[in-house]
Amino acid sequence: MISVNNLSFSYPTQGFSLRIPELSIQQSEKVAIIGPSGAGKTSLLKLLAGILVPQQGKISIDDVGIHQLSDAQRRDFRISRIGIIFQDFELMEYLNTRDNILHPFRISRALKLNASVRNRCDELADELGIADKLKQLSQSLSQGEKQRVAICRAMLPEPDVILADEATGNLDPANKSKILDALFRSVEKRDATLIAVTHDHELLDRFDRVIDFKQFYQQAASA
């Protein structure tokens, strides 16, 4: 499903270097990524999403070479095939919950907004317990509710891959468990692959596999 080979990426002005000789993640697998701050975990998610481009190496998702696509092709692939749950949610404060969930369909030619999508939006909101919040502005929502909106938005295009950057960060223990439950249900229902960066080590036993980024950080530091 996801294959990374001989990847090399750096921010020259920041003295940051990331090297991943090989990484493979299977379809429907739920993978947690842990490791020290600054090791490149978020950078890897951005590379997988095509937001960043490696200086060297290959990244393939479902046999599509992300590293070979143009900017426009990467953007269309990302919006239609990859769902991203950002650490800071990235909701539009001037939009209500429904319009935030539907937002990707209004800004991309790769997605078509129709009655079926609108129905799926309402179903996802109900599934994640925010059906009664659809008309509320995002600025009036709690942290947990905003996270649910972000999950709905990521899942709406029915992507093959979900990339979650600290999806349970800044939440109390009870809400962390609820958010993860909702995310896992949604991913499993749609047979999607989940890659989640997390510092919540107490949640790791719920994932199929844990990748400790320390190995790549050490390789980069010694290279």
pLDDT of residue 162: 96
Please report, for the domain that includes residue 6, its CATH number.
Answer: 3.40.50.300
> Cα separation of 3 and 93, whole Å?
36
For 34, the domain range is: 2-222
Distance of CA 16 to the CA centre of its chain: 22
Predicted TM-score (pTM) of the model is 0.90
9 phi/psi in degrees, rounded to 5: -145, 145
pLDDT of residue 108: 86
46 vs 201, more confident: 46
Q: Lowest mean pLDDT: which of 1-15, 44-58, 71-85? A: 1-15
pLDDT of residue 223: 52
105 phi/psi in degrees, rounded to 5: -75, -15
CB 82 within 8 A of CB 160: yes
Domain count, the chain: 1
| Percentage of the residues of the chain whose pLDDT score is greater than 90 | 63
> Cα separation of 41 and 214, whole Å?
10
> Cα separation of 107 and 95, whole Å?
14
Beta-strand pair 16-25/56-61: unpaired
Please write the tens of the pLDDT for every residue from 154-187: 999 999 999 999 887 767 777 788 778 888 988 8
Of 1, 61, 53, the closest CA to residue 25 belongs to: 1
> Cα separation of 143 and 65, whole Å?
36
Determine the length of the chain: 223
For range 208-220, the mean pLDDT: 77
Whether residue 117 is predicted with pLDDT greater than 80 in this model: the reply is yes
pLDDT of residue 180: 85
For range 188-195, the mean pLDDT: 92
In the DSSP assignment, the letter for residue 31 is E
> Cα separation of 134 and 123, whole Å?
11
Buried b (16+ CB within 10 A) or exposed e, 25-57: beeebbbbbbbeeebbbbbbbbbbbbebebeeb
Please write the tens of the pLDDT for every residue from 60-79: 999 999 999 999 999 999 99
